[in-house]
Chain A
Amino acid sequence: MQVPRNWRLQKQRYSLIGEVCEHCGVKLFPPRDVCPECSHGAQTLYQFTGMGNIHSFSQVFDPPNGHIENTPFIVALIQLEEGPMVTAQLTDIDIEHVEIGMEVEMVTRKMSDDGTEGMIIYGYKFRPPIVD
């Protein structure tokens, strides 16, 4: 398990903190420091609301390492309400109920772990809102 590498991304993964370009106003997630729209520096931190809708989704049956016990799991492209597209797992929902366009909200969950003795990696997933 690559501890420093995951530690470095905690802020973004736990809370969906990205960046905003002060020059053209575009919101960036994942953070990339340089605005892809206007090429100006964009390092001002921005807290996303975590609300978005499903652009596409898939149920994964053949997992990579760190995700085996959670298989099958659902992954999705989420269009955040501020604009950016995010790739993440869905949680608290069964595949039969997932639809393109449905509203979801961000929650922080266990993303993966390194066995029972290793680090647990936490990060964002999305689920249907608790309250409509």
Chain B
Amino acid sequence: MTIDNREPDLQAMKPDIPVGIVGYGAYIPRYRLPAEDIAKLWVGPSNRVPVTEKSVAGIDEDVVTMSIEAARNVLARADVNPIDIGAVWVGSESHPYAVKPTSTIVAEAIGAVPNTQAADWQFACKAGTEAIQASTGFVGSGMTKYALAIGMDTAQGRPGDALEYTAGAGGAAFLLGTAEESVATIEGSFSFVTDTPDFWRRQNAKYPQHSKRFTGEPAYFKHIAECAEQLMHALGTKPTDYAYAIFHQPNSKFPQQVAKVLGFTTEQIATGLLAADVGNVYAGSALLGLTAVLDVAQTGDRILLVSFGSGAGSDAFDLSVNDRLSLCQTLAPTTKDYIERRTVIDYATYARYRGKLALI
């Protein structure tokens, strides 16, 4: 059989009913581990660390508790009764249970049970944006009124691995509803996915492995750039149309490089670039950048959001800000509030909080 080589139809994904973000909420844990501390321990070059510090979840935190707090921040900003939420979807690569959903616990805690969809999503660092796309479809088809999409991680890095500098904790939650009651409308989205083995974690492994420099050009850069370009092409936009652009941020350097390649300025990406302060929060990475932007964006601002998940793929979104945003920005702690709430810990405390000391 011959292969059908026709060009795919490069339309942006848009639901029948316009959909937008009705409420949003960030979460970043309190603790910070300076990258220099890690460099000291593993004798790395302290002048070339990929981030300044990374956020670390407390000993009593996990993706469940962090998702609950982000979801509560969503509800503080959105005037929505949780019983009207038809889906609670949590994207993460650090769900506390291998089997037993994070999402049911979150749904129970915010009062969305029992008449709701609940599921956990997994696609490395883009599990959260997948949940947003699915929520867009779920609401946009009229199947439900509201859907809650969360991207949250307590990322794992093997002690001594390059990932340990950046593997942070945090994320964000978004309530999707009809565009007319939203704070920002999703003008369209696009996905770009291939089988690219740049980073993985086997079922029973504690830490992930990665293919070093292979994670760059063929994985991160290719997927983000293609996805962003194709979305802009499909929507007929160009970089200068956007007030803000946010790219997945495994470190500070990659998003700046990909922004440059795509033609975005430093100013456009500055607000949503948080990697230096919190590290790479994986499924929450690009989404936390989005909450930082929504905290300050104004009516009419256009936002480009592009995630990247290893394995590999990107989801791109084009959002435009509505009047309602200004009314809810201060109804819950801002992303900056969480970034500024910081307590520096040492490596030993970090090792204890994150279960890197074997007690048994």
Contact = CB atoms under 8 A, between A and B. Distances in A.
Asked if the two chains touch in their complex, CB atoms less than 8 Å apart, one says: yes
Interface of A: 10-11, 14-15, 69-70, 89, 91-92, 94, 107-111, 120, 122, 125, 130-131
Interface of B: 30, 58-62, 64-65, 68-69, 96-97, 105, 108-111, 333, 337-338, 341, 343, 359
A91 B333 contact: no
Contacts of A14: 68, 105, 108-109
Nearest to A11: B108
A70 B61 CA distance: 11
Contacts of B338: 130
A110 B61 contact: yes
Q: Of B30, B333, B359, which is in contact with the most chain A CB atoms at under 10 Å from its CB?
A: B30
Given A10-B108, A130-B341, A91 B60 contact: yes
A110 B65 contact: yes
Contacts of A108: 65, 68-69, 109
Contact of A69 (B97, B343, B359): B359
12 contacts: A10-B108, A14-B68, A14-B109, A15-B109, A91-B58, A92-B30, A108-B69, A109-B61, A120-B96, A122-B65, A122-B109, A130-B333
Contacts of B69: 107-108
Contacts of A131: 333, 337
Given A14-B108, A14-B109, A15-B111, A107 B65 contact: yes
Contacts of A111: 60
Contact of B59 (A70, A94, A120, A122): A70
Contacts, number: 50
Contacts of B68: 14, 108
Contacts of A120: 62, 64, 96-97
A1 to B, nearest CB: 14
A122 to B, nearest CB: 6
B60 A125 contact: yes
B62 to A, nearest CB: 6
Nearest to A89: B60
A83 to B, nearest CB: 22
Given A15-B111, A69-B359, A92-B30, A122 B105 contact: yes
Contact of B62 (A89, A94, A110, A130): A110
Contacts of B58: 91-92, 109
Contacts of B65: 107-110, 122
A131 B335 CA distance: 11
B59 A69 contact: yes
A108 B61 CA distance: 9
Given A15-B109, A108-B68, A70 B60 contact: yes
Given A69-B359, A108-B109, 20 more contacts: A11-B108, A14-B68, A14-B105, A70-B60, A89-B60, A92-B58, A94-B343, A108-B65, A108-B69, A109-B58, A109-B61, A110-B60, A110-B62, A110-B65, A111-B60, A120-B96, A122-B105, A125-B60, A131-B333, A131-B337
